[in-house]
Structure 1
Amino acid sequence: MSNNNGQSNNGFPQRGNTGAGSMAFAADGESTAVLRPISLDSFAAPMSADEIRSIERAPRRRLVWPWVLAAIIAMLAAVAGGAYWFFQSHALPGVTLWGNSVVGKSQSQIADDIDAAVAKSSVTVSYNGNTAKITLKDLGLSVDSQAIANEVLSAKRDDAWWQRYAFWITKDVSTEPANPAAADSSELNSRLSISEVKPVDAQVTLNADKNGFETVAGQQGQGADPEPVAKAAVALVETLGANESKTMNVELKSTDPAVTDKIAEQAKATLDKLVKNPVTLKIGDHTIATLDANALAAASTVNANENAKLATGETRDGYVVFSADKLQQYYENSIKPTFNTKREDREVIVNNNDEEIKVLKEGHDGISITDGADANIGTDGATLLANGGGSLDVQGSIDAMKTKTTKRHVVVDLSDNKVYAYENGKLIRTMSMSAGQGNDRKTGECTGQDLCTPTGDFTIWLKYESQDMSGNLTLSDGSTESWDVKGVGYVNYFSHTGCAIHRIATKTAMNDAQVAALGNTSHGCVGIGWDQAEWFYNWAVYGTSVHVQV
């Protein structure tokens, strides 16, 4: 019997009751929940506005892989950019120094490695039971580690961009750290107790005119041969300290000087080029000085080791080393004192062809240098010398000199029997003369083939204050004319056939008026009075133009 709660009289639920929340018991006493039937009508009900807004605000699921790809690309770009930035100041991939990898090292690191290898590169040498450790420094050799490191850093920089960073494309910098042939044997001889006759270096010196250079031959010596030891030390440096030397025996030989005759000749050639194409100092476009042979001699030395480390302020062109300090000192002591702020004009003599034949006064510009503008003449000049020439601009002002010309010209008139001296077109002196015997006294014409004064335009090319004149001449009629006159004064040759204007060749003094009355008596020369000849000799300088006319 059951009651209204779906329970039997014994208190257990009836199995057939399916009301909501009812429980049924299986035969094993476990209860089983019976759910109320679900109506599908509830799913068809429209959503409220709040429910719609809630759905719109819900996060949408997005694709992830494009962002991952972008991150990878950005990371690769950052790595590439970092590598590019890094290798701007470090050795590029594939670069080696003497076969040793230096990839990724900075210039200072490479230079430090070289310096460390140089310090470590001692060679054990032996001679007659004496041993010693010898370094490059002991052999008088130095290594310019900074220059070599710079060469390493520059390797592959000119290649295509993709080749620069390709590690499989290699570039070995093989510049010899030092020149073994330039090794000095002095320390080697001393350490091994070898009696030495020192060699004498060849020299490059100024020539006698101090406008160029000449060489003085060197002399051989006798002692230990340093070159094999230097080669062994260089080989150790090129391992960058990875190897150590074995003991080597030293041999004796006739030793060449460090600066051989050949090296001196090459150094002379370098200096000769700078004499022909000198470094000039300029204010604007105006040259105020040149670094001539004297300046080069004062500021340069010859160093047989082309790879020697330069001191501060030094530059090099081959075997010639220029010192900025010495050049500055030469400028201060020998060039700058020649500058004058006040202009002095130049004065010259020219002939009738406007050719400059004598300088009466060199003159100079008025030069004012801005304070401190010439403080780096030595440094900048040494750089230009090492590069083979050029010009150096200096701040300042110029009052340029002018050139005053005086034109001198001589006219010999065979019909007037006069010699006329002109200066700047103005007649300044008239002198009587005696011409060649063959010239007609009135017309000046050459009446025969012999003993005539030639006509035309000439210049005075040879002068003697006094000369003995003698000669023999066969005339056109077969006769012979001879002369032998001692001490002819103030001779001015104008023709290359031997004709000159000179003091008339008489044994006693003859003045201008006496010459006028004499007639033509010479063998082709022009004779003038003793009272005129010295003045004319001093006035008619080399190159003075002479016009002879009838």
Structure 2
Amino acid sequence: MNENNMSKAGASADGESTAVFAPLDLSAFAASAPSDEARSSIRPRKRHVIWPWIVLAVLAVLGAVAGGGIWFFQSHALPGVTLWGTPVTGRSYEQIVSQIDDAVNGTAVNASYNGTTAKVTLKDLGLSVDSDAIATQVMDAKRDDAWWQRYAFWNTADVSTEPANADAAVPDTLNAKLSIEEVKPVDAAVQLNADASGFDVVPGQQGQGADPVPVAQAAVKAVETLGGASTQTVEVKLDATSPAVSDDIANQAKATLDNLVQNPVSITIDDHQIATIDAAALAASTRIDANENGKLADSETRSGYVVFDANKLQQYYDDSIKTTLQTNREDRDVIVNNNGDEIDVLKEGHDGVTIAADGDTNVGHDAVAALANGGGSVTVEGTVDPMQTKKTKRHVIVDLSDNKVYAYENDKLIRTMSMSAGQGNDRKTGECTGGDLCTPTGDFTIWLKYESQDMSGNLTLSDGSKESWDVKGVGYVNYFSHSGCAIHRIATQTAMNDSQVAALGNTSHGCVGIGWDQAEWFYGWAVMGTSVHVQV
């Protein structure tokens, strides 16, 4: 461009020239519309959905909370559990024990008599509270419910076990604190009977003094508030005071002990019984406690009103049971009859027992647990050589046609004796031909024995005649029939031997008479229960 042209193009007032540009064509910058194929390849950006993750997170938190709650309540009282109406949810066993003990120790009732007032505790009244047992009941409450009910706070369970039996309160300390003169009641007792086979009840006796029961009732109610209420003053009255162990309690304890005598706890080695906890062992290791919810010593276990002491039972075992065990076996020797019934014991016998070192140190502990459950067995370590039983069978045959009495031992004839039978029995056939004065036939057992007996009687016979007898000092009498027939020394005034009896004939009223030289032996040999078969 030349100067002229520049001048023509334009100049500013200050003389500077101004450049002039051609108009800008924007169409060159416009984007062309995409084709259908290109449009189809374009996708909108995805939006991320987060709510399922939020739900999962919430569920995870809830699951963790639920799992933690379940874990927590394994060792704490469940939701909805109360003790005597007071909520204890979430408390541990130890906390519940402590809460009960604090309530017991902090409870003192004001008792008043004739202007004298004194604070009286449960301990003063002879009562204790088994906080461990009650806490265990609290921990167990609702545990057997379905799982959805177990942790539901609206599903409630109240443990209402009475902390102590107010009727078991004793007035001794109460009388002393209130300066009341008393005649002490005497507790009923359970003692071993004369033959040590069971128990007898010794009745209690009433006393005279302060009635402790209302004071005890007030103290028990205060404990049940777990320290939440104060007690009012209790006016004490004089009354006939009942013993803590009443006759009824003693009889219930006797029933518990008698059942254990009938179903004794056995002491075994490898399932072989070597001894039992008998009545004497029970008497040495038990006491009667009228307060059935009272706190026990560590060595004690209870069943109702009976308390078993493991230490005492262990001592009894060591002193009176273990010392009777013998290492050498001795077999038992018994007599049986034709029916196999054991009718006499010639020798008791015993096992050969060897106890391993320290193999029986837990007898007392294990035995009281079994006793509290009503029976069972406890095992000690050792070896046993079991005794065997020797059986000797004895039976008698009275043959009315042979006019003989036969004594058998193990089915072997060991003695034959001549006899005189009833007057009504035919001497040759043995048949009863005389009606009323016959020796009965059949199978019998000897059921009654007298070394000497006066025999007398009057009998009206079927023909109307009367038969009377009166014989003094009939020796060695063995009754076999309940109608009065016996095998005995022949009832003669002077001694008559076996051969003389054989020649005598039938002279009795139904009994069987044997010689004076045979009767004493037969009396000693034919023990009670021996089988007697009478035949023709």
2-structure distance, mates of 1:64, 1:38: 45
- Tell me if 1:151 matches 2:111: no
Match of 1:55 in 2: none
Map 1:480-499; keep pairs closer than 5 Å.
480-499=466-485
Partner AA of 1:302 in structure 2: I
- The 1:532–1:115 alpha-carbon spacing in structure 2 relative to 1, beyond 3 Å, is same
- The 1:61–1:209 alpha-carbon spacing in structure 2 relative to 1, beyond 3 Å, is same
Q: Deviations over 1:237-270 (max 9, x none)?
A: 1121122223332222111111111211221222
2-structure distance, mates of 1:39, 1:191: 120
Out of 224, 236, 241, the position equivalent to 1:238 is: 224
Map 1:405-484; keep pairs closer than 5 Å.
405-484=391-470
Map 1:117-128; keep pairs closer than 5 Å.
117-128=103-114
- Tell me if 1:77 matches 2:43: no
Match of 1:137 in 2: 123
2-structure distance, mates of 1:18, 1:236: 110
Match of 1:99 in 2: 85
Match of 2:313 in 1: 327
TM-score, normalised via structure 2 length:
0.90
Q: CA deviation at 1:108?
A: 0.5
Partner AA of 1:469 in structure 2: M
Match of 2:167 in 1: 181
Match of 1:266 in 2: 252
2-structure distance, mates of 1:461, 1:549: 19
TM-score, normalised via structure 1 length:
0.88
What SS class does the counterpart of residue 463 from structure 1 fall into?
Answer: strand
- The 1:109–1:481 alpha-carbon spacing in structure 2 relative to 1, beyond 3 Å, is same
Map 1:210-289; keep pairs closer than 5 Å.
210-289=196-275
Bigger drift between 303-312 and 392-401 goes to 392-401
- The 1:229–1:514 alpha-carbon spacing in structure 2 relative to 1, beyond 3 Å, is same
Q: CA deviation at 1:18?
A: 6.4
What SS class does the counterpart of residue 323 from structure 2 fall into?
Answer: helix
1-structure distance, mates of 2:271, 2:345: 24
- The 1:479–1:98 alpha-carbon spacing in structure 2 relative to 1, beyond 3 Å, is closer
Q: CA deviation at 1:39?
A: 6.7
2-structure distance, mates of 1:331, 1:190: 41
Match of 1:296 in 2: 282
Q: Deviations over 1:86-105 (max 9, x none)?
A: 11111111111112111111
Map 1:327-366; keep pairs closer than 5 Å.
327-366=313-352
Map 1:390-401; keep pairs closer than 5 Å.
390-401=376-387
Say how many residue pairs are matched: 522
2-structure distance, mates of 1:7, 1:405: 158
2-structure distance, mates of 1:372, 1:61: 79
Match of 1:377 in 2: 363
Partner AA of 1:351 in structure 2: N
What SS class does the counterpart of residue 136 from structure 2 fall into?
Answer: helix
Q: Deviations over 1:367-418 (max 9, x none)?
A: 2333333221211111111112222233433322221111112122222222
2-structure distance, mates of 1:155, 1:323: 29
Q: CA deviation at 1:271?
A: 1.7
What SS class does the counterpart of residue 335 from structure 1 fall into?
Answer: helix
Q: CA deviation at 1:36?
A: 12
2-structure distance, mates of 1:76, 1:456: 88
What SS class does the counterpart of residue 332 from structure 1 fall into?
Answer: helix
The unaligned stretches of length 5 or more in structure 2 are 34-44
Q: Deviations over 1:517-550 (max 9, x none)?
A: 2222222222222111111111111111122222
Q: Deviations over 1:97-136 (max 9, x none)?
A: 1121111110100110111111111112222222211111
Q: CA deviation at 1:65?
A: 4.2
2-structure distance, mates of 1:331, 1:367: 15
The unaligned stretches of length 5 or more in structure 1 are 20-34, 45-58
1-structure distance, mates of 2:168, 2:249: 10
What SS class does the counterpart of residue 308 from structure 2 fall into?
Answer: strand
Q: CA deviation at 1:42?
A: 10
Match of 2:38 in 1: none
Q: Deviations over 1:460-506 (max 9, x none)?
A: 12111111122223334433332222111111122222222211222
CA contact (8 A) 2:423 2:434 kept: no
2-structure distance, mates of 1:261, 1:490: 47
1-structure distance, mates of 2:355, 2:469: 64
- The 1:438–1:176 alpha-carbon spacing in structure 2 relative to 1, beyond 3 Å, is closer
- The 1:60–1:479 alpha-carbon spacing in structure 2 relative to 1, beyond 3 Å, is closer
CA contact (8 A) 2:474 2:491 kept: yes
What SS class does the counterpart of residue 358 from structure 2 fall into?
Answer: coil
1-structure distance, mates of 2:124, 2:215: 11
Identity of counterpart residues, as a percentage? Answer: 70
